Each structure stands twice: as C-alpha cells, then as structure tokens.
Amino acid sequence: MADSIESMQAEGMTFEPPAWVRDNAYLKTREEYDAMYKRSVEDPEGFWAEQADEYLFWHKKWDTVLNWEFDTPKVEWFKGGLTNVAYNCIDRHLTTWRRNKAAIIWESDEGRTKMYTYQALYYKVCKLANVLKKHGIKKGDRVVIYLPMIPELAVAMLACARIGAIHSIVFAGFSAAAMRDRIQDCGAKMIITADEGIRGGRVVPLKAEADSALYECPTVETCLVVSRARARVDMEPGRDFWYHEEVRSADISRHCEIEWMDSEDPLFILYTSGSTGKPKGVLHTTAGYLLYSAMTFKYDFDYHDEDVFWCTADIGWVTGHSYVVYGPLCVGATSLMFEGVPNYPHPGRFWEVIEKHGVNQFYTAPTAIRAIMKSGDDWPKKFDLSTLRVLGTVGEPINPEAWMWYFNVIGKGKIPIVDTYWQTETGGHLITNQPGWTPMKPGSATFPFFGIRPVVLNEDQSETPVNSGGRLCIDFPWPGMLRGTWGDAENTLVKNTYFSQFPGKYFTGDGARVDQDGYYWLLGRVDDVINVSGHRMGTAEVESALVSQPLVAEAAVVGFPHDIKGEGIYAYVILKSGVEVPKSVESILAGHVREQIGPIAKPDHIQIVPELPKTRSGKIMRRILRKIAAGERDMDTFGDITTLADPSIVKVIVDGAPKL
C-alpha cells in the first residue's frame, strides 16, 4: 500500500493521550497501569479473585481460583463457583437505576431504531428461554443461531445462557454448506434463524439456506424463525415455528428460572479457521470468559455509565460476542447494534449513526476504515462527531496511513485510538493500549492487558532480542482463554494447534516484535491462515472447497496484499486432465467456493496452472506462490528453486499470471 509522506512520518511518532480523555479515565498514568499489571502477574490468583468478586454475581463462591497445566492442556478458573451469564448481564442490573437504562440500541439497515432497556431485555430473554424449554432444550444442549444483526440475536444468546444451553452462532454470511458442517459437528438440537436478512438494501435468504442445510442435519428437531422481512418462506410442519408466535403463546411466562452454572460449564462454541481444512469449534466457558470480556471492555474503551458504545462487528464473529453483547451488558453498558454496512445508503453511514445516537466509543476494523477513506473527507465532515471520546480498531494490524486518517479526520487529532490485538481463542483483548494513559505509536498494539504474560520467541525457543521478529506466545493462563474445541475431550487438537510448537506456552500463530520501549508490534500470521477484511480464513479450507469441484484436480491458495481487504485470496488450480474445460471456468470455481463457504472466501484471483511448484518430496513451495500473487515477476527474485521437482514450472506460472 502506498503510504503518504505524512503517514511515513507517523511510523516513528508517538502520540500522547489527550488530557481531556486522561482526566476522566479509570487509568490516568503509566504508574497506575504498572502497579495493577505487576499485581496481576505476581499474584494472579489474588488479583483475579478480587476482580471476580467485583465484576460478577456469585450464587455460590468458587472452590479454587485457578487449576492449570499447559501440557494436556487443562485450565479451570473459579471451579466450583456457581453463576449465570444472563443473570450477570441482565437480572442484577434490575435492582439498580440501570433497570431503565438502554441495554441495546438497534439501528436497522433502513435507518429505523429500536431501544431495549435492561427491563425490556429481561422479559424478551425470559420468554424466549421458556420457548426453548418448551421445545425440549436443556442444559448442555447445543443451539445453532443463524441470524442477521437484529436484537433477537442477542436475545437468543442470552436465552441460551439463562437455561444453560450452549449457543453456536454461524455468521449469516456463511453458506448452507458451512452451516451444515457446523450443525453436524456440534450436534445441534435446535436452530434459530430468520426469514431473510437485509443488509445494504439487499436480501439475504436465510431460511432458504437453513432449509438446504437442515436436509442433512438429523439432530435438529426444531427451527425457530424470526420474521425480519415479513417474507413468505416454507415452513415445515412440526419442525419450523415462527419466533413471534412462540413467544406470544399464552403458556409462555415473562419470567424464567435461572439455571446456575459451574464457572467451567460451556457458554458457547464459535467455529474459527485454522491451518487445517476444517474450522475448529472453539469452546468458551462461563465465569472466566465473562469476567475477561467485561474487564477488557471497561478498561480498554474506558466505558463510563453514561456512554453509548458502538462496536460495528457482526455478532457472528468473536468481536461481536465479546464487545457487542457480553462485555458491555455485564457492566451494564448501552451497546449499539447495527444491522447495516458502512456504505449504505451512502459512505457517511457510520458517521450519521454516531451523530444520531451520540456514540462515545466507536470500535471498527482497519479494512472498514480503508474502504471509507476512499470516499474522501467530506462525508465525515457532514456529521457531528463531537460525542466521540475513544476510537478502536481490531482484526489486523492497522497501517499508518489508515491510522492517521482515523486519528485526524474522525478524531480531529484529539481522540485516542485503541489498537486491540486478540483472537477468537483468547476471549478478549490480549495486547492493547488504554485510552487514558498509553502514549500511542501508530500500528503498535502497545502493551499486554492485566494478567497477560507475552513472550516473543525464536523457533529454537529462545527469546528474541529487542526489535527482532519472532513468534508471539503467552506464558500463563488468563480467564478468557479457550478451554478446548468441541468434540475433543482429550484436547488433542488444542494441544497440537496451540501448545506443541513451544511446550508449556500458548502459541498465537502470530509474529511479533518488541521495540526498545517495550511496545508490541504484531507482524501477521506465521501459519497458513490469511486475514481477509479482518476475517480469518484458512488457506486449506479454501483449497478443500476448490478440490470438491469436479473439474479440479489440485489447488494451492495463498494470501496477497490487498488495498482494502488487507489480504486477498489467490488460488492456483490444476484442472483434471481429460475433462472438457468450460470457458468461464474461473467464475464457476469462484461460485463454487462461495457456495461451499460463503462470499468472504471467494478468491479474488484464480489462475489455472499445469502444475504447482513442488519439491521432490511433493511439498508445495508456497513462498514462490506468495511472491507471484504479490506481483513479483522477476525470475531472479525467487531464490533457490533447484530443489523443485521441475524448476521450469515457476516461469510457466509467472508467464500465466496477470500482467501488472
């Protein structure tokens, strides 16, 4: 990406947090952070026990604060304690002034608003929880939720939590095939979907997608359908029920008993891409996850009771779980939930919504910032952004040009930007600056959150020297970390994926370096995971979608630098010999990937090749494919290719690549 002169300078610059933000912040000085951080790592059990007491309601106190070993691995926080996530996110606020505070402000795609107070949310959640029970859902059962960004999505999560059911949300942009795989993997008994989603003025036929998935999902007994678009859809008698009819049924009470859960009972499963072909069902449990999402929410966005917080992420991703729903509601915040997209009906939509609802904290992804930047500085100028106090980013490293634009044009040079680094597996922020005290360096996520002990290692396990890149690991458990993956009681997958490269440590899969001031700089994934518009995509996953198409013999997929998306998807495909190749083969293959996974996985570029650059032992040399995808055409830059079974193939692929 071409960076302007201004942003080139930004690289070496430090920006102090503005005094007006600092003066009112929870943490105002480096000393305050240092003291709290020191305590959190020197006496983690004492520290976290204190926090768990402060942030969560306990029906019964825990027996032990922490049991852990990183070999199996096995991690338990607050074991023996009884609590409930829905109780913490709703009920306990009802006995305070927050009863009539807005819990959720919903902004629809067309610009309508709905508001739910904590009291109103309580009734909605209880009624749905009773409906779930009526349909036989019990503690431990899995419920797959396939909904657009409508209030019923948050209600469904909390209703599951209230009765101890485990939710697994499938992003509404995923295809029927992707949903089917997830339903089958977790053995869901119920799914909750909508007739249609509406995004950017376009219809997403959710129920139709669900129907074709359910055809192959015998474990699903019930399908609840929210009427979002008042569309007429097929309803299978005995299986499909309208959500609004069910919750209004005469036998459904507005109150529902709480199911008290052990701290380590599962709360949700969320599927995420890794370097293997199949997405993993990351498992988060009750108390530790909630505590960690709540605390990171409060400190990292400096949320105060009168604020309106807006995280633009879809709840189908972990960012939406932790920072649209659980973190905010746990501390009694007002969370804005947005159904739409940044550029509909105009490229000023984000700023319009900020003005309309008086948003104080705004949290989005670098890819969205880059996309909006393109439409110029006039759009943000049309709207009153003066309520903003904290800006945030998440999903990928932010490039200095986007950082400077966000800082100057949106923040008018006086609002801190928190760069929050974390993962689906970590439950909440791992490394981030905090608004009131951290001097910012554009592009650096800065320092670890309380209790996080990062180390950057060389492949031989030694620690890297200052400013030298290595692999980012975490040395010690934290309450929000994943406990396992669904269906793997022995935790073998977790062990192999996160705990084997660096024994005794959690390996993030990311590269990082620490500079002379102790700032962490994230350098991107070091495995075969690419980051497309802030969304994780396994190259192996796209490859297996491609080879499931009858024309395809073999496929190799790599990422390449993309102006807006961060990374784009480039697929090299070998077609089967002897088949008749249609003229539009590339678009057929792209369409197939879209069907198998969803629009986000559609390759930006597909190149048909006669062979792939393989070593004599058959290993694909991805390094070469990445260079070609990035636009490299000079044969001298590919390094040593003599170990390839057929070195001449490199030239053939270069010649077949698009002209620059």
Give residues in contact with ligand 7RM (CB under 6 A): 272, 317-319, 394-397, 419-424, 445, 508-510, 522, 525, 531, 534, 536
Least separation in angstroms between CB 168 and ligand 7RM:
15
Cβ neighbours for 262, distance < 8 A, ≥ 6 positions apart = 79, 80, 81, 82, 286
Q: Residue holding tokens 């400096």?
A: 302
Least separation in angstroms between CB 393 and ligand 7RM:
6
What 3-state class would DSSP assign to 193?
Answer: strand
Least separation in angstroms between CB 108 and ligand 7RM:
25
- If you write DSSP's letter for every residue of 298-323 in order, what string do you get? HHHTT--TT-EEEE-S-TTSHHHIII
> 543 is written with which tokens?
């490859």
Q: How far apart are CA 52 and CA 627, in angstroms?
A: 49
Least separation in angstroms between CB 423 and ligand 7RM:
4
Of 121 and 532, CB closest to ligand 7RM: 532
Of 288 and 332, CB closest to ligand 7RM: 288
Query: Nearest 5°: CA angle at 195, between 273 and 227?
Result: 120
Cβ neighbours for 537, distance < 8 A, ≥ 6 positions apart = 273, 529, 530, 531, 569, 600, 601
Q: How far apart are CA 427 and CA 482, in angstroms?
A: 7
Among 332, 334, 348, residue whose Cα is nearest residue 111: 348
Least separation in angstroms between CB 277 and ligand 7RM:
17
Q: How far apart are CA 148 and CA 125, in angstroms?
A: 17
Cβ neighbours for 404, distance < 8 A, ≥ 6 positions apart = 4, 6, 7, 10, 442
Helix 151-163 with 118-134: angle, nearest 10 deg: 60
Of 217 and 522, CB closest to ligand 7RM: 522
- If you write DSSP's letter for every residue of 520-562 in order, what string do you get? EEEEEESSSEEEETTEEEEHHHHHHHHHTSTTEEEEEEEEEEE
Q: Is the Cα torsion angle 284, 289, 292, 293 positive or negative in sign? A: positive
User: E strand or H helix at 204, and its extent?
Assistant: strand 202-204
Least separation in angstroms between CB 427 and ligand 7RM:
10
Residue 96 DSSP code:
S
Helix 30-42 with 44-55: angle, nearest 10 deg: 110
Of 211 and 425, CB closest to ligand 7RM: 425
Decide if 143 contacts 569 (C-beta within 8 A).
no
The one-letter amino acid code at 50 reads E
Least separation in angstroms between CB 273 and ligand 7RM:
8
Least separation in angstroms between CB 179 and ligand 7RM:
18
Of 78 and 478, CB closest to ligand 7RM: 478
> 518 is written with which tokens?
């102790």
Q: How far apart are CA 604 and CA 615, in angstroms?
A: 27
φ, ψ at 498 (rounded to 5°): -115, -20
Least separation in angstroms between CB 487 and ligand 7RM:
19
Of 363 and 450, CB closest to ligand 7RM: 363
Of 304 and 622, CB closest to ligand 7RM: 622
Least separation in angstroms between CB 366 and ligand 7RM:
8
Among 423, 531, 534, residue whose Cα is nearest residue 472: 423
Of 243 and 271, CB closest to ligand 7RM: 271
Of 286 and 293, CB closest to ligand 7RM: 293
Least separation in angstroms between CB 302 and ligand 7RM:
17
> 116 is written with which tokens?
């739910």
With left for phi above 0 and alpha for psi between -120 and 50, is residue 461 left, alpha or beta? left
Cβ neighbours for 653, distance < 8 A, ≥ 6 positions apart = 572, 607, 609, 613, 624, 625, 628
Least separation in angstroms between CB 20 and ligand 7RM:
25
What 3-state class would DSSP assign to 275?
Answer: coil
Half-sphere exposure of 485 (CA within 13 A, CB side): 21
φ, ψ at 622 (rounded to 5°): -65, -30
Of 375 and 464, CB closest to ligand 7RM: 464
Of 347 and 534, CB closest to ligand 7RM: 534
What 3-state class would DSSP assign to 5?
Answer: helix
Least separation in angstroms between CB 61 and ligand 7RM:
31
Decide if 113 contacts 337 (C-beta within 8 A).
no
Of 293 and 596, CB closest to ligand 7RM: 293
Torsion of CA 370, 374, 376, 382, to 10 degrees: -60
Least separation in angstroms between CB 132 and ligand 7RM:
28
Of 329 and 530, CB closest to ligand 7RM: 530
Of 332 and 366, CB closest to ligand 7RM: 366
Of 388 and 522, CB closest to ligand 7RM: 522
What 3-state class would DSSP assign to 511?
Answer: strand
Of 272 and 361, CB closest to ligand 7RM: 272
Of 284 and 592, CB closest to ligand 7RM: 284
Least separation in angstroms between CB 280 and ligand 7RM:
11
